[in-house]
Structure 1
Amino acid sequence: MASQGLQLLGFLLALLGLAATIAATFMVEWKKQSQGKTHRIYEGLWMSCSGYERTTCEFHESLFKVSVETQATRAVLLFSVILSAVAVLVSTVGMKCTRFMDGKAESKSTTAMIGGILFMVSGLLTLIITSWYVKMIVQTYKQSHRLQSFEFGKAVFVSWAGSLLTLVGGAFLSCRRCSRSSSSGSVTSSHLLTTANPKSNYV
């Protein structure tokens, strides 16, 4: 666990990453297709939209009608969001600026580190599944007729940004060198003081 300022920075970055991941999960423009100059088709993880100037959206009625990459991305992103939510609670308990676990510096440091690791795992899952989703779209785009295939949309970039912010924020929260050095120094100094006092009685 690093200094309080670094912890706060990591926590805020992780929160921004979580917000971006939630936004990307429910965005419609994961896939996009243009038919002509005005007609657009968008496909998200939960619904698809199509139209000209005004688009109409419909929820996916059945899982069996949704592609494999969409189902997998939906499941992993939901798990990532839940994991980040747990990391928020754990990190809040272990951060220096909170009053939880006062008097237990080592336990508080370990708790913050666990929260940072959870954030990092969440960001890594989001990064992997988003990259795999893009890879599947690119493969389909190359194998099929390009005018009839989908391209990846803005939600992919939002998801990538969310994963990177969550990873960096979790890394800041997981840093413990500063805390360990300061705490170990205080422990050794207090230990020397306590051992010096009994010897002074014999002088």
Structure 2
Amino acid sequence: MASSGLQLLGFFLSLVGLAVTVAATLMVQWKKQYQGKTHRIYEGLWMSCSGNERTTCEFHQYLLKLPTEVQATRGVMLLSIFLSAVALLVSTVGMKCTRFMDGKDESKSTTAMVGGIMFMVAGLLTLIITSWYVKMIVQIFNESHRLQSFEFGNAVFVSWAGGLLTMAGGAFLGCRRCTQSQSMSSNHLLSTSHPKSNYV
């Protein structure tokens, strides 16, 4: 089984990635627009804000009237969060430092690997939908009047960071090759040490 330190590192990175992804999903600065020097408009996946020094925010009331990029990004980000939450439970069961499935090392290793793969898929979904969202915003910005169109905001960078952290943590949790190499090396050391003890 992979070392508990490697699994804990992967679990910690995945947990941070999930938290960052949730924060990005709730952030309002997915789009931004400046009107003049002081008036600012921000639009997120759930609400929009506008104002000068003090901004007022309101939730999106009509789902079907939202732009396509907002609807698609909202759905995929929620799917990624749900998949990461399930992966969190699965990887907890399969980690070496937990007491679930004691005595079943192979099953625990497989469970941890499945959780890691789920984390990697969730992170990949976040990266893909965020990159597509940025592409749509840039395309709209180039095709319309630039003074009246939106630019992508800071939530995009936070979302990218969350996806990368989730994928990195999943890669550590799903490191099956590391597991096999460690078990093979330990078995090799045991097999070479016992025959020598039979000789004087």
TM-score w.r.t. structure 1 length?
0.90
Alpha-carbon distance in structure 2 between the residues aligned to 1:65 and 1:51 = 22
Distance apart, 1:94 and its partner CA: 0.4
Distance apart, 1:3 and its partner CA: 1.5
CA displacement, residues 95-132 of structure 1 (integer Å, 9 cap, x when unaligned): 11111111001000000000000000000000000000
For the 8 Å contact 2:2–2:182, the answer to whether it is kept is: no
The residue aligned with 1:7 is 7
For the 8 Å contact 1:2–1:172, the answer to whether it is kept is: no
Aligned AA (1:97): C
Secondary structure of the 1:56 match is strand
1:81 aligns with 2:44: no
1:28 aligns with 2:51: no
The aligned length equals 193
Higher mean alpha-carbon deviation, 3-12 vs 114-123, is at: 3-12
For the 8 Å contact 2:21–2:81, the answer to whether it is kept is: yes
Gaps of 5+ in 1: 197-203
The residue aligned with 1:201 is none
Alpha-carbon distance in structure 1 between the residues aligned to 2:115 and 2:91 = 5
Q: Where does 1:105-120 land on structure 2 (aligned, <5 Å)?
A: 105-120=105-120
Secondary structure of the 1:149 match is coil
Secondary structure of the 1:58 match is strand
For the 8 Å contact 1:49–1:58, the answer to whether it is kept is: yes
CA displacement, residues 47-71 of structure 1 (integer Å, 9 cap, x when unaligned): 0000011000011110122100000
For the 8 Å contact 1:138–1:151, the answer to whether it is kept is: yes
Secondary structure of the 2:48 match is strand
Secondary structure of the 2:100 match is coil
Distance apart, 1:4 and its partner CA: 1.1
Alpha-carbon distance in structure 2 between the residues aligned to 1:18 and 1:178 = 24
Report the identity percentage: 76
Alpha-carbon distance in structure 2 between the residues aligned to 1:151 and 1:95 = 42
Gaps of 5+ in 2: 196-200
Alignment root-mean-square deviation, CA: 1.9
Alpha-carbon distance in structure 2 between the residues aligned to 1:64 and 1:157 = 26
Secondary structure of the 1:2 match is coil
Aligned AA (1:40): R
Secondary structure of the 1:63 match is coil
The residue aligned with 2:169 is 169
Runs (4+) of structure 1 exceeding 4 A deviation are 184-191
The residue aligned with 2:99 is 99
The residue aligned with 2:181 is 181
Give the structure with higher Rg (CA). Answer: 1
